[in-house]
Structure 1
Amino acid sequence: MKKILLMCTAGMSTSMMVQKMQESASEQNLEVKIEAYGSERFNDLIPEYDIVLLGPQLKYMHNEFKNRAEPYGKIVEVINPMDYAVMNGQKVLSHALELIG
């Protein structure tokens, strides 16, 4: 099972994206775990997930989170702002799974 973590400032706006991604995963019969949390939980949660997707509002923290994730061999990527704006869960899910490999 692939595990995807979404992070934003408080975990609120990404929770809507999680719902859209889970709907897409269900339609494709994919077994994935997708959750959203505020960025302050990053250090506690990074070992449990395959990839961390940052809400566009956290783009400025990408390098910092990427460096913190490196010892765990985890991927950190910023969600495409256009996909985020229209809540395109299918596209965000597909991109995350592609990055995980």
Structure 2
Amino acid sequence: MKILLVCAGGFSTTMMMDAMKSVVEKSSKLNINDYPMEAIGVDLLENKIDQYDVVLVGPQLNHKYSYIKEVAEKRDKPAVLLDSDIYGKMDGATAIKLAIIAHKKHQLSK
């Protein structure tokens, strides 16, 4: 499952991505090779989204979430807006769980 993280400039999502990768690497059940990730600024969304299975959105883009969700839905991808608590704590474990759940729900809805 390929995960695309989106924020205003891609910088804070890089930190979240690193936290998520750390959780996957330490897991006995997950394999890092099964979870490629990239962090980008929102301006690159339409160019990158087709390469990914799920989109995680930083809370600073709450005002653009409807646009991001619309782009994702047109491409048949789930999008999840991370809340500020998860993001502020750089809670990689919760973020990866949200991505996995969104992807599984999306698969089951087909």
Give the alignment's TM-score, normalised by structure 2.
Answer: 0.86
Q: Give the AA of the match of 2:51.
A: E
* Residue number in structure 2 paired with 1:80: 83
Q: Deviations over 1:36-90 (max 9, x none)?
A: 0111000001111111111100011111111112221001111121010010101
* Residue number in structure 2 paired with 1:5: 4
**RMSD after superposition:** 0.9
Q: Which has the larger radius of gyration?
A: 2
* Residue number in structure 1 paired with 2:70: 67
Establish whether residue 36 from structure 1 lines up as the match of residue 39 from structure 2: yes
1:18, 1:86 → 2: CA distance?
Answer: 13
After superposing on structure 2, the runs of 4+ consecutive aligned residues of structure 1 that deviate more than 4 Å are none
Q: Give the AA of the match of 1:63.
A: S
2:61, 2:22 → 1: CA distance?
Answer: 24
2:92, 2:20 → 1: CA distance?
Answer: 4
* Residue number in structure 1 paired with 2:18: 19
Unaligned runs of 5+ in 2: 105-110
Q: Give the AA of the match of 2:38.
A: E
Q: How many residues align?
A: 100
Unaligned runs of 5+ in 1: none
| SS, match of residue 5 in structure 1 | strand
Instruction: Indicate the larger mover: 22-31 or 76-85.
Output: 22-31
The structure richer in strand per residue is 1
Give the alignment's TM-score, normalised by structure 1.
Answer: 0.94
Identity of aligned residues (%): 31
